[in-house]
Amino acid sequence: MLVAVNKEVNRLYQILETYEAGIVLEGPEVKSLRNRQAVSFKDSFVRIEKGEAFLYNLYISPYSKSTINPPDPTRKRKLLLKKREILRLMGKVQQRGYTIIPLKIYFKDNKWAKVEIALAKGKKLYDRRRELKERELRRELSKWKGL
């Protein structure tokens, strides 16, 4: 069950590799995701610290029927990855220009919360302009072929 998708990724980044990671959540956060309440990927990223992966700045809106002390909506959350995947990502991120970003959040088999993360390289402004120009040219060509 798909919960949320990061729509700005393809515009800002070139995706090189994708990984599926489990995410450690608290009870109210899981309920909030199941109810499809607001999730924001704005400024969210993954950082590897001491051999563990953490997801920063992912906003999960607080569950409305939560009891006392709901968790912080933008707290850092631990990601569950295999050691080999973490080491590979750590080696790539140390190279200049690479970053790890979340792509989407979903429930696998309707019970496990998962995050699809990607190793990505940021696009330059001129790359984005070129992409827009190519898309517009393709649109024009298809319009002329249809006549």
Ranges of the chain with pLDDT below 70 = 147
If one counts every other C-beta atom within 10 angstroms of the C-beta of residue 58, the result is: 25
For the entire predicted model, the pTM comes to 0.80
pLDDT for res 74: 83
pLDDT for res 22: 93
pLDDT for res 104: 92
88 contacts: CB under 8 Å, gap ≥ 6: none
Query: Which residue's structure tokens are 């707290």?
Result: 75
Domains assigned to the chain: 2-145 (2.40.280.10)
pLDDT in tens, 52-87: 999 999 998 888 777 777 788 888 999 999 999 999
pLDDT for res 123: 82
Question: Do residues 140 and 146 touch, judged by C-beta distance below 8 A?
Answer: no
Which CA distances in Å does 62 have to 46, 72, 81? 21, 8, 26
Residue type, 69: N
Question: Do residues 60 and 33 touch, judged by C-beta distance below 8 A?
Answer: yes
pLDDT for res 124: 83
